[in-house]
Structure 1
Amino acid sequence: MPSPEQFHGWLGHDSSAAKGNMRWTAFTPKPFAPTDIDIKITHCGICGTDIHTLRSGWGSTHYPVCVGHEIVGHVTRIGSEVTTLFALGDRVGVGAQSASCLKEDCEECSNGLEQHCGKGFVGTYNGRYPDGSWTYGGYADYARVPAHFVIKIPSGLESQDAAPMLCGGITVYAPLKKNGAGPGKRVGIVGLGGLGHFGVLFAKALGCDKVVAISRSRSKSKDAEAMGADTFIATSEDEKWERKHSRSLDLIISTVSSSDLPLSGYLRLLRTNGQFIQVGAPEDKLPAIAAFALIAKGCTIGGSQIGSPKQIEEMLQFAAEKGVKPWVQERPMKDANKSVVDMEDGKARYRYVLVNNAIDVQAML
C-alpha cells in the first residue's frame, strides 16, 4: 500500500500536551526526497524525551509537534537515490536522529559519529531540515525519514522489543561499549527506569564481572536482580552506602534526568581512573562537586548522546544474538495520551510501546 499524501498522528499544540492533551490530527510530512524512505508504523516506544519536548522542558518546542523516536514499521516507499538495499515491506526502525550534514569535510559524519554532527543534526521530531520543513515523530501512522538513518530490524528481534532499543537501548549501549564494559569490568547503572533497565541488561550481556544497580529506594531491587544485577544500592535507604561501596566500580552510567542526585557520592564509588558517564538530561543543572573528587583518583566525568546508525545496527544484532529482551508493556496507539501521563508518573515497567492497530487507527481518523 503506497503512502498517503497526509499522515496522521498525536499532535501536541502547547505545553499541556504532556498532561495527556495531544490530539489525533492530520499533518503534512516533509516533501519526499530521492534519498527518503516512508515507513508504515507498527510500533513506537515512549521515551522520556517525548515528555520533556511536549512540555517545552528543554527549551521552546515548535508546536504542533508529534513526538516518538523509537519507531518500527514497514517500508512503503523508497526514493530513487537510496543506495542501501531496502525493499518494499522490509521491517525497519528509526531512532532519535533523522539527519546530519553527511559531508566529507565534517569531522563527525566522516568518522561515523553522525550523532555529534555540529553542522546538520536533525532530531526525528521537533527538528528542522535544511529545506525548512519540520520533523514529525512516531506517535503516528507513517513516518518519512532520510534513508541513511533507517535501520533494518534483525529477524531475531520482536518489533515491540526492537522499538525501545532505537533510543533507550542505544543511549546506554554506546557508552558501555565505548568505555570498555565487558569481562574484567565492574559497572554501575544509576536509575532503573527505561534507560537504566537497558543498562543492566546490556552490561550483563556484555559479560561484565559485576553489574550494580543504583537507585533511591529498594522498590525495584527484585526486578534488578531478575535483569542480571549482582548488587543493588539504595541511596536513600542504605546507611553510608558511599563508604561501604567505595572504590568498587570501574564505570558508572547515570541514566537519571533529575538534577537532585548525589554526584559526589557516586564518584566515591569509582576506582582509580574510573569513569562517570551521564546520559540522562535534566531540565536543570547537575550539582556542583569538589575538584578533589576527580583529582584524588584521576576520575573523569563525561557524557554520551544516542549512537550512530552503524552503532544502532551493531546493537540490534548483538541483542538478537545474545537474546537481550527489554521489559516492555504494549499499549494501543489510541491510548497515547494516557500512556504519556502514566510514563510521567513512573508507572512504566520499564518501557511503554505504542502499537498501531488498523481498527484503532481508522476509529481515530
Structure 2
Amino acid sequence: MNSKKRGVFLSYLRVGLIGYKFMGKAHTQAYKNTNFYFNPKEPFQLRAICGRNEENVKFAAHTYGWESYETDWEAVIERDDIDIIDIGTPSDTHKDIAISAANAGKHVLTEKPMALNVRDAKKMLKSVTDAGVQHMVSFTYRRVPAIRLAKRIIAEGRIGKVYHVRANYLQDWLADPQAPFAWRLDKNVAGSGAHGDLNAHIIDLTRYLVSEFDEVVGMSETFIKKRSIEAGSTNEEKTNDSASRDVTVDDATLFLARLDNGALGSFEATRYATGRKNNEYIEINGSLGSIVFNFERMNELQFLSKEDEPHLQGYRNILVTEPEYHEYMDAWWPPGHLIGYEHAFTHQASDLAQAITQQQPIYPNFEDGLRCQQVLEAVDNSIKSRTWEKVEKTNYLNL
C-alpha cells in the first residue's frame, strides 16, 4: 500500500535528516535496518543529511550512505523530494525546524526533549495538528521488547493495583571535574541538563506504563559551576575567548511525584553517578506483583507474582527474545540471540513507516512530548518555589 501526498503516489518514504553526529548515526542505521529487516511497504530513502560544517556533513553523507547533503536546514525542508524531516539537533532548534517542516507538509520526527519549554511544545503540537502530518518524539525506550512486555504484564492486571514507581537514570560522563564544556551544559541550547536529557526518558516510561503525573516536588544541583573549553571547540562554544564557560544547567535532579492513579513515584537523574554509564532503571510495585527493568540488561525483565505458590515466590528473570511472544523480535534472531541499543531506533522507524503508509496514529507523538515537558517544567517550578507543584494538563486545544 502506498501513501498519497499532494496527489502523487510514492513508492518510498524520502527522509531529510537534520543533524549528523550521535543521533544522526543512530537514526541513519535505523532507516537502513528497517528496510532490511522489517520490509516496509514503502522503504525509506536517504535523500539528504544536514549539518552546519560542510566538510563534516559531506563526510557523513558519504560514510552513512545519504544521497546528498545540505548545510542549511531550511533548504532541506524546501525540497520537494523529501517527505519526512528527522530532527537530531540540540533542543533549542527543535521548535523552528518542526514548525517549518509541518507548514511545508512534511511528517516530523524529533529527538527529546521535544522543546525548551511548555510554551514552545504547545506551538509545535499545534503546527503538526493543523497541518495534518504525522508527528513523533524519539522516546525509543518504549520500543525495547522488554518494556513492551512490561506494558502487557501491567495491562493484563498481573501486578494488580500499582502503588510505587521508582526510577533513575544514572550516567557519569561529567563526574570528572576536568571534563570539558559541551553544548549540553548551556541552558540556552539544551534547555536543561540531566533533567531534560535523562529524567525525560523515565517520565515518559512512567506515563507509558503506569499513569499521568498529578503533582511533583524536586531538588537539583550543579556541582561544578565552570568547565574548561576544550582545544578545537567551535566558535559557538567560546565566549569572549575565555578559557572556561559557566555551566548553566543542572548536573543532577531528583523529584517525588504523585500519579493520577494514586501511586507514588521517586525519580533521579544524574551525570555524576561514578561507575554508571547508562543505567536506566524502573521498578513498579503493585498489589499482586512487581516488575524491574534495567537498560544495561535490556534483553531481560524481572517479574514477581504473588499468585505463585509461597514456596516458589521470587523474582523470575525473563529473557525477552522469543519471536512468537515478544514484540518486534520476529524481525531479528533466534531465541536467546540478543539485540542492542540501536535496535530500538529501528523499531521506532518501522512503526513510523507503518503509521505513514497506513495512515494510523503513532505514539509517542507531540502530545506525549508536551505531557513530558509539562512534568519537567512542574519540577523546575517546584525547585524554585521549594514546594509541591501541580502538573499542567492543558494543551493548545484547551487554551
Larger radius of gyration between Structure 1 and Structure 2: 2
Same fold (TM over 0.5): no
Taking structure 1 as the reference length, the TM-score comes to 0.31
Task: Between the two structures, name the one with larger relative contact order (CA 8 Å, sep ≥ 6).
Answer: 2
Taking structure 2 as the reference length, the TM-score comes to 0.28
